[in-house]
């Protein structure tokens, strides 16, 4: 029995990681059923980075004495961005300022902070690399339930190679930084090439890919029938376990059938990656651009409405940074302020964060070019860029700065604003849990509060941020 299960688990992982029991998409309706009358779904992109994000770099340099006075005291205030210059590293977003919100003051002391946070900042609880630490589905998966799609959710990651989660899986498929449910880690694609191979394999023009795809379907068909027959002769927990495997396999088969029904759209938007995105020695910047192409293709084709993108992680060795392109940059050293190849740590942070904003600009610009309804796909999109472990390298979790890009159909009062919420401990202070509760409530999940509470806060922490509701 154990050998059978081990064989199936290994077979599923070889078929793309997404197929592991506990991480399979549920049976989902077709896009037409989901959106009667052709109403467009909302789409969500969560881009998070390791090594912290300094609150000070979020402040527009054009702020005057009054704003800086409030900022230095971390007092609550908000400012229209129309009359202000963005921080230089955010300059790629200048053309999209009407969609931009810089949000300061959210805390996450109930999360794991420091070197590695795993799924903590998306789940709002303390987590480590062990599945047993995962309390519930991360917020991206909760949103995926509200806006179903054939693949439900896609996760991309620049995996760490020098410690942390998913060691040594730079170009493969490994445990990611999101969670499908209690004790259910998600699996992420480490390289753009393998992501395209697995996500778009059903429409590949390569004959060998098509043969492999059909063989996988036959294996799944055989396994589903075999496990169902086996379950008839078992009882109790063993019968339940085998039944769960059979159900998971059938869900994968149903997902594949729905993707086949969308073949024309999927084929039209499948990314055609340049060879540099498939190279074993691609630098980090190229990897991030490749992942962004996969992200866009997955959304535009309709395969998913939710993408999580770990744009970097503390244990990832950065390469391709302008000025020190060939250097393998240890981001842990950057976190400790070390000079690397003659470049100061703050400058390295500045250049990598500026590159991240170029990726955001690429996403927003592309989605604004795709017609949808009486507008564009971006009208129905919300993107969040934030640190996965708080305000600095050794974070206390008192601040999680956010860069938010929101289309005009977003059901929240966002756009063209710099917002600083009350500081940690002050009356009216808000946490990551409050922010995610706000998003979930706005889109149909009436949850009273998402996430754990901060035991150090002696204020009411329950519920959404009502000021953000339209």
Q: Is residue 275 part of a domain?
A: no
Same domain, 121 and 254: no
Q: Is residue 278 part of a domain?
A: no
Distance of alpha carbon 217 from alpha carbon 264, whole angstroms: 20
Distance of alpha carbon 280 from alpha carbon 198, whole angstroms: 17
Q: Output phi, psi for 65, to 5 deg.
A: -60, -40
Distance of alpha carbon 118 from alpha carbon 178, whole angstroms: 8
List, as one string, the DSSP characters of 295-327. HHHHHHTTS-SEEEEE---TT-EE---TTSTT-
Tell me if 382 sits within 8 A of 404, measured CB to CB: yes
Q: Count the domains in the chain.
A: 2
Same domain, 209 and 351: no
Q: Which long-range contacts (CB under 8 A, 24 or more apart) does 1-7 make?
A: 1/238, 5/241, 5/245
Distance of alpha carbon 287 from alpha carbon 243, whole angstroms: 39
Same domain, 213 and 156: no
pLDDT value of position 453: 98
pLDDT value of position 463: 96
Same domain, 56 and 161: yes
Helix (H) / strand (E) containing 197: helix 192-199
Q: Which domain holds residue 164?
A: 43-200+283-468
Sequence-distant (≥ 6) Cβ neighbours of residue 203 within 8 angstroms: 263, 266, 267, 270
Nearest to 320 by CA among 344, 355, 292: 355
Q: Is residue 276 part of a domain?
A: no
Tell me if 116 sits within 8 A of 389, measured CB to CB: yes
Helix (H) / strand (E) containing 406: strand 402-406
Same domain, 182 and 298: yes
Q: Which long-range contacts (CB under 8 A, 24 or more apart) does 195-199 make?
A: 195/154, 195/156, 195/291, 195/294, 196/270, 196/271, 196/273, 196/294, 198/15, 198/16, 198/17, 198/18, 198/173, 199/151, 199/154, 199/294, 199/297, 199/298, 199/303
pLDDT value of position 280: 79
Same domain, 253 and 307: no
Same domain, 350 and 458: yes
pLDDT value of position 121: 96
Nearest to 308 by CA among 21, 49, 42, 52: 49
Q: Output phi, psi for 307, to 5 deg.
A: -130, 135
Same domain, 165 and 288: yes
Same domain, 136 and 241: no
Q: What is the pLDDT along the chain (470 residues), one digit of tens a residue?
A: 444 444 444 444 444 444 333 343 333 333 433 344 468 999 999 999 999 999 999 999 999 999 999 999 999 999 999 999 999 999 999 999 999 999 999 999 999 998 888 899 999 999 988 889 999 999 999 999 999 998 899 999 999 876 555 555 788 888 899 999 999 999 999 999 999 888 887 555 555 555 454 545 455 455 555 555 555 555 666 555 545 555 554 555 555 665 666 667 767 778 888 888 888 789 999 999 999 999 999 999 999 999 999 999 888 899 999 999 999 999 999 999 999 999 999 999 999 999 999 999 999 999 999 999 999 999 999 999 999 999 999 999 999 999 999 999 999 999 999 999 999 999 999 999 999 999 999 999 999 999 999 999 999 999 999 999 98
- How many CA atoms lie less than 13 Å away from 44 in the CB half-sphere? 24
CATH of the domain at 354: 3.40.720
Same domain, 115 and 264: no
pLDDT value of position 244: 53
pLDDT value of position 12: 46
pLDDT in tens, 140-152: 999 999 999 988 9
Q: Which residues pair with 317 in a beta bridge?
A: 330
Tell me if 143 sits within 8 A of 440, measured CB to CB: yes
Distance of alpha carbon 3 from alpha carbon 64, whole angstroms: 68
Tell me if 180 sits within 8 A of 140, measured CB to CB: no
Tell me if 416 sits within 8 A of 100, measured CB to CB: yes
Same domain, 165 and 224: no
Q: Is residue 402 part of a domain?
A: yes
How far is C-alpha 374 from the geometric centre of its chain's CA atoms? 28
Q: Output phi, psi for 248, to 5 deg.
A: -65, -40
Boundary residue ending a domain (210, 241, 269): 269
Q: Is residue 13 part of a domain?
A: yes
pLDDT value of position 32: 35
pLDDT value of position 26: 37
pLDDT value of position 16: 41
How far is C-alpha 371 from the geometric centre of its chain's CA atoms? 24
Same domain, 195 and 234: no
Q: Is residue 274 part of a domain?
A: no
The angle that helices 139-146 and 432-442 make with each other, rounded to 10 degrees, is 0
Order of strands, sheet of 402-406, starting from the edge strand that comes earlier in the sequence: 77-80, 417-420, 100-104, 402-406, 381-387, 43-49, 306-310, 154-157, 184-189, 173-181
């Amino acid at each position: 029995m154990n050998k059978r299960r081990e064989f199936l688990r290994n077979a599923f992982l070889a078929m793309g990681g997404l197929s592991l029991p506990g991480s399979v998409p549920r049976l989902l309706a077709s896009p037409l059923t989901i959106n009667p009358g052709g109403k467009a779904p909302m789409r969500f992109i969560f881009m998070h980075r390791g090594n912290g994000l300094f609150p000070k770099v979020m402040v527009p340099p054009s702020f005057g004495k009054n704003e800086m006075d409030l900022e230095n005291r971390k007092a609550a205030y908000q400012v229209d961005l129309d009359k202000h210059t963005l921080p230089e590293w955010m300059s790629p977003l200048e053309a999209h300022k009407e969609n931009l919100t810089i949000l300061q003051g959210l805390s996450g002391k109930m999360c794991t902070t420091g070197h590695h946070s795993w799924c903590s900042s998306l789940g709002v609880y303390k987590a480590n690399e062990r599945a047993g630490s995962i309390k519930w589905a991360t917020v991206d998966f909760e949103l995926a339930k509200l806006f179903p799609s054939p693949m439900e959710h896609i996760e991309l990651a620049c995996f760490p190679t020098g410690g942390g989660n998913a060691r040594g899986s730079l170009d493969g498929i490994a445990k990611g930084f999101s969670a499908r449910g209690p004790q259910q880690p998600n699996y992420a694609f480490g390289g753009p090439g393998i992501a395209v191979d697995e996500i778009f394999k059903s429409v590949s023009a390569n004959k060998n890919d098509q043969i492999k795809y059909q063989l996988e379907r036959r294996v799944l068909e055989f396994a589903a029938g075999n496990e169902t027959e086996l379950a008839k002769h078992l009882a109790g927990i063993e019968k339940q376990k085998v039944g769960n495997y059979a159900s998971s396999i059938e869900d994968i088969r149903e997902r594949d059938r729905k993707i086949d029904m969308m073949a024309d759209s999927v084929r039209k938007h499948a990314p055609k990656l340049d060879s540099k995105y498939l190279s074993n020695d691609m630098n980090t910047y190229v990897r991030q651009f490749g992942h962004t192409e996969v992200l866009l293709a997955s959304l535009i084709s309709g395969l998913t409405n939710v993408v999580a993108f770990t744009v970097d992680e503390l244990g990832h060795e950065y390469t391709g940074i302008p000025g020190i392109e060939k250097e393998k940059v240890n981001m842990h050293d950057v976190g400790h302020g070390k000079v690397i190849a003659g470049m100061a740590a703050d400058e390295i942070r500045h250049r990598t964060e500026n590159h991240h904003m170029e990726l955001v600009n690429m996403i927003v610009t592309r989605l604004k070019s795709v017609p949808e309804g009486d507008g564009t796909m971006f009208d129905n999109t919300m993107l969040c860029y934030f640190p996965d472990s708080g305000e600095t390298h050794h974070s206390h979790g008192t601040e999680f700065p956010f860069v938010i890009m929101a289309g005009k159909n977003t059901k929240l009062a966002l756009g063209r604003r710099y917002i600083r919420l009350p500081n940690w401990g002050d009356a009216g202070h808000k946490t990551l849990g409050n922010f995610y509760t706000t998003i979930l409530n706005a889109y149909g999940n009436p949850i009273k509060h998402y996430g754990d509470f901060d035991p150090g806060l002696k204020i009411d922490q329950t519920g959404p941020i009502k000021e953000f509701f339209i």
